[in-house]
Structure formats: C-alpha cells, structure tokens
Structure 1
Amino acid sequence: MKKLEAVIKPFKLDELKDALNNLGIQGMTITEVKGFGRQKGHTELYRGAEYVVDFIPKIKIEVVVPDSIADEVISVIEKTARTGKIGDGKIFVINVDDAVRIRTGQRGEGAIS
C-alpha cells in the first residue's frame, strides 16, 4: 500500500475530491496547512503598515491506496491540481506496511476499502 500526501492550492480541492471519487476512492483526510517553497510569500498593507506574509495557505490531502492503483491516483492528482504556475504543490509517496480498521480489527488492504 502507498500513502499519498498531496499539498495543493485550496481552490483545487473540490475538483480533486470529485476526480478521486470517480476512481472509487471514498476516504481521504484533508488538512488546512500553510507553507512556502518557490512561491515565496508576499507583502500586504494593513492600516498603513506593511506586513510580510511568509506562509501561503494550502490543503494537504492524505489517501492510502493499494500499490496496484497508486500510479493512476498520482496521475489524477497531478493532472487535476496542476495550474502550470508556481505553487501548484507536491505529491509525496510513502510505503505503508499495514493498516487497521479500528472498529473491526480488519488489517491490510481490506482496512482501506
């Protein structure tokens, strides 16, 4: 199994959720995060004072999928989240040794379906 962590622009969330649902992925974890990379921050004016905003709001999506569909899911995330501009985000791929459904004790791929 693979855990895919995608950090994307917030306005892409609904479109990506729909695209993943179309692949049959029904469960995911969403976290509001802040960060910066090449996009850097920007300066804002508030009540006459200048403030540097270093961290840009992003959304982190976490989903665990069987190895057999990981590449397809990565492609869908990449295609859906891409705007072609700096700050589109990243996808991290992490090996998952096991998963346990707490309610039933079911383990492995059965716990993520």
Structure 2
Amino acid sequence: MAGYEPDFCPRYHHSIELIGKRWTGVILRELLRGANRFSQLSHAIPDITDKLLAERLKELEAEGLVERRIYPETPVRIEYVLTEQGRDLEGVVREVSRWAEFWLPPVATGSKADE
C-alpha cells in the first residue's frame, strides 16, 4: 500500500478506536447531515438507546469533535454541533459510506438495542 508506514502509530490507533466505537460513526454521519437535537439523533438512529447516545455524545464532546450548546429558553434547548475538528471527518465518513455501499450486503435493523 502506497504511503503505508509499518511502525505502530498511537495517533492512528486512537483515531480508529474513537471513530470505530459502536454508534460513533453513525452519530457523526447524522451530525454532518444536520441533525443537532438529541431527539433528532435518537430518531435517526433507531437501534441506539438514549443512554448510549448520551454516552457517545459526551465522549465526542470530551474529544473535541462535538460541542454541546445550551440555549436558555423555556424549555431549555440543547443542540449538538460538530466542531471544526469534527467537520473535518466528513471525507472519512463519506468514504466509509461509499465503501460500505459497494462492498457490504444490506443489514436488517432491530429495535433499540444496547451494546
């Protein structure tokens, strides 16, 4: 593979572990599509539990990929938006989607399943 470096790269390993974590890629994809409310994300990803969605959003926020914005309205409005760092993953998400459409068979989804 052109450009492949055989030495272990901690940054690469961390990035693969981060975006490869269950549901993280799907959350990123939905945020790139414009979903920004918890309910929008939950509706767009029917197999994820609310608990797991909240956990993943906190992880992405801690990594600097997602920003949680609170609007002091009644009721309080909370939105999740990608940071510049998160938006920079758009090409990666697009390429994984392209690869999956080409190489993987369709998968049936079930109901709200935890890990």
> Same fold judged by TM-score > 0.5?
no
Q: Tell me which protein shows more strand as a share of its residues.
A: 1
TM-score with structure 2 setting the length: 0.27
Q: Whose RCO is larger (CA < 8 A, sep 6+)?
A: 1
TM-score with structure 1 setting the length: 0.28
